[in-house]
Amino acid sequence: MKRLRNPFVAESGTYKTSYKNDMKLFKTKKQTIIMMIFIGLVLVLPLFASNYAIGLLTLGAIASIGAIGLNILTGFTGQISIGVGAFLGVGGYTAAILTSTVGLSFWITLPLAGVATAVVGGLFGIPSLRLKGLYLAIATLAAQVVILFIITRWTSLTGGTAGMTLSRPKIGEYSLSSNTSYYYLVVIILILTTLYATNLIRTRTGRAFLAVRDRDVAAQIMGINLFSYKVMAFAISSFFVGIAGALLAHYTMIVSPEFYSIEVSIEYLAMILVGGLGSVFGSILGALFITFLPVGLDMMISVISGYLPNINQILSSFKELVFGLVIILFLIFEPGGLAQIWLNIKSYFRLWPFSH
Amino acid sequence: MTFFIQLLVTGIVVGSIYGLVALGFVLIYRASDALNLANGEFVLIGAYISLTIMTAYNLPFILAVLITLVFSAVLGLVVERIILRPLQNAPVISVIMATIGLSSVLGGAVHMIWGTQPKSFPAVFPATPVEFSGIIIAPVYLYSFIIVMVLLIIFSLFFKFSKMGIAMRAVADDQEAALSMGINIKTVYAMTWAIAAVVAAVGGILLGNINGVSGSMATIGLTVLPVVILGGLDSILGAILGGFIIGIIQNLAGGYLDPLVGGGLKEVVPFIIIVIILMIKPYGLFGKGGIERV
């Protein structure tokens, strides 16, 4: 049936006439087309962008995978984790040990790194049955410190503070040593992760996660097995964090305990907060934002330093200050994060010029 | 044996400072259910300000301490008003992240103003060590311990008898009931933050006297977490006892086990203790477990 459309009136809603329609990931044709164009743009970007920009985007995409993982745990299931840094480390070191020491191929170690991190994450998720909120946050903080200590001290396995070196993955004879090729690899994994996470929320498991977040005791009364779902949330979340850790390790080609400090954990938490808790799209926005923030500040500083020559000495402290400020401002003025801002902008234009 | 007692004494002194800083933690948690992860930066700022006042303006120690305390109290009030009050009904993660953001802001500001080089405190306490039957104690340790003990006694009297202290306990117990009895909760929150900042600053000044002042001092903000978890997040007595226990265990582990694993155990042992406590007795030695109704 073809409907007449008045081109001057905005759409009034999407009407679903079948269950199949209701279950679609993209509700309208327009959405599908926009998404295809966007993915197309992402894929052709390397043709125009500089090598440096592609490197940054790769880092942003890797961070997005980790942030989506953390958002599954913190945003969807409501379990606060300050231990992401160490879980990234578990993924990175698993990849390093399996490829460099054991000699397995990257394509086998990548999922294995995810699985290993999922096991460790699930293990540290066990206390979450008894602990909530602040107590759980502190427990994950303890996990961060303890895991990092083990990594630093188990010198025979991990190389201690010196770290380990890795190589870029290969497809047959072709090595993904250029930034562009690695970018494609990471982007494809990011798209798969995004698809998985978006679909996860629409399944029984995802709905159980949301119920646990909103009120875990009520969820339990309704027949949700708290223990298995909380541990599952930790495991699924850690799986993606581990994948991100392995990708990061193969990108930088070195792993060392200092890359996985508590500051990294805080950065990841900042990503999902700035992006939007419980939003997959927000995780990506937040990850890109936090990755590009220091770069943007660097550029700003290089402009200012013409006038204030001393500013380079306090650069790192200045970055720290701005980072904290960004977190606080978002929390106070837009707790919904960038995802919420995006929605606001969209609905503003959709209803324009009659916004009320 | 002397080695053991030496470690024990150090543990007790460091533990008493932990207890003091943990007190600020517990106060804030009791009043507003928030975890102040910027506590370490309060410690740092207290230390740097008293140091600057003493070295740059050559004021006597007591005066410098007083000015520092006033400044810290104001800092606590400002932080509460600007950051915590808008987030009063926000979820736990927002409050945690806000204090993490605050610690980043304060840390960045401190490094921008004072740099990252460690500085030593001008000698305040006499330098000749005191000797008790073979055990040598630096006077700094002795004085620190006495100061902390006096402060703790003052605070327990304050909570027991003063109107403000009783109001604070009432708010910690039941906010709505306190509100209906005519207690101004906003004032109580503000006072809580001021006291927490002051207590942290005292800890900073004492630690500065013992170890010198540097940016790494802020890690005490994290080291104190095991203390409050051990004692129970909402117990003042627990914070103080927990401080001693963690201080002693930390120093003993550092002294005896460090050579076995190659160092660094001192910083990690408290967190291993956390994991164990959370598994066995999640609400600590004196904390209250909640009953939840749906």
CA–CA gap between residue B47 and residue B68 (Å, rounded): 8
Is A127 in CB contact (< 8 Å) with chain B? yes
Q: Are A61 and A187 in contact (CB under 8 A)?
A: yes
Q: Helix, strand, or coil here: A13?
A: coil
The secondary element (H helix, E strand) that includes residue A281 is helix A280-304
Kindly report the CATH number assigned to the domain that includes residue A262: 1.10.3470
Interchain contact, B29 vs A137, CB within 8 Å: no
Q: What local confidence, expressed as pLDDT, does residue A228 receive?
A: 92
Residues with Cβ within 8 Å of B54's Cβ and at least 6 positions away in sequence, in order, are: B61, B64, B121, B122
The secondary element (H helix, E strand) that includes residue A165 is strand A164-165
**Which chain A residue's Cα is nearest to B100?**
A324
Cis-peptide, bond into residue A353, ω within 30° of zero? yes
Least confident range from A217-221, A234-238, A241-245, B111-115: namely B111-115
Residue A36 belongs to a domain: no
The average pLDDT across A314-318 equals 80
Is B219 in CB contact (< 8 Å) with chain A? no
Q: Which of A257, A235, A273 is nearest to A85 (CA)?
A: A257
Is B88 in CB contact (< 8 Å) with chain A? no
Residue A125 belongs to a domain: yes
Residue A9 belongs to a domain: no
Least confident range from A188-197, B29-38, B159-168: namely B29-38
Q: What local confidence, expressed as pLDDT, does residue A292 receive?
A: 93
Residue A176 belongs to a domain: yes
Distances (CA, A) of A119 to A52, A88, A243, A302: 35, 13, 13, 45
- What are the tens digits of pLDDT across the range A62-82? 999 999 999 999 999 989 898
User: What range does the domain containing A97 cover?
Assistant: 49-351
A52-85 b/e (C-beta count within 10 Å ≥ 16 → b): eebbbbbbbbbbbbbbbbbbbbbbbbbbbbbbbb
Predicted confidence band at A6 (pLDDT cuts at 50, 70, 90)? low
Q: What local confidence, expressed as pLDDT, does residue A11 receive?
A: 58
CA–CA gap between residue B4 and residue B146 (Å, rounded): 22
| Most confident among A24-28, B113-117, B227-231 (mean pLDDT) | B227-231
Q: What local confidence, expressed as pLDDT, does residue A310 receive?
A: 66
Q: What local confidence, expressed as pLDDT, does residue A252 receive?
A: 92
Interchain contact, B83 vs A145, CB within 8 Å: no
Residue A10 has pLDDT above 60, yes or no: no
ipTM score: 0.86
Q: How many domains does chain A have?
A: 1
In B, which residues are within 8 Å of A319 by CB distance?
Answer: 108
Interchain contact, A270 vs B103, CB within 8 Å: no
Q: What local confidence, expressed as pLDDT, does residue A68 receive?
A: 96
Residue A218 belongs to a domain: yes
Residue B81 has pLDDT above 70, yes or no: yes
Those of residues 232-291 in A touching chain B at CB distance below 8 A are: 262, 266, 269-270, 273, 277
- pLDDT, greater one: B277 or A120: A120
In A, which residues are within 8 Å of B96 by CB distance?
Answer: 80, 82, 134, 137
pTM to 2 decimal places: 0.89
Residue A30 belongs to a domain: no
Interchain contact, A141 vs B271, CB within 8 Å: yes
Predicted confidence band at A309 (pLDDT cuts at 50, 70, 90)? low
Q: Helix, strand, or coil here: B235?
A: coil
In A, which residues are within 8 Å of B229 by CB distance?
Answer: 135, 138
- What are the tens digits of pLDDT across the range B222-237? 888 888 888 888 888 8
- What are the tens digits of pLDDT across the range B17-52? 898 889 888 888 888 777 888 989 999 999 999 989
Please list the residues that pair with A165 across neighbouring strands.
A254
Q: Are B15 and B207 in contact (CB under 8 A)?
A: no
**Which chain A residue's Cα is nearest to B82?**
A332
Tell me the pLDDT of chain B averaged across its residues.
86
Is B126 in CB contact (< 8 Å) with chain A? no
In A, which residues are within 8 Å of B104 by CB distance?
Answer: 266, 320-321, 323-324, 327
B5-41 b/e (C-beta count within 10 Å ≥ 16 → b): ebbbbbbbbbbbbbbbbbbbbbbbbbbbbbbbbbbbb
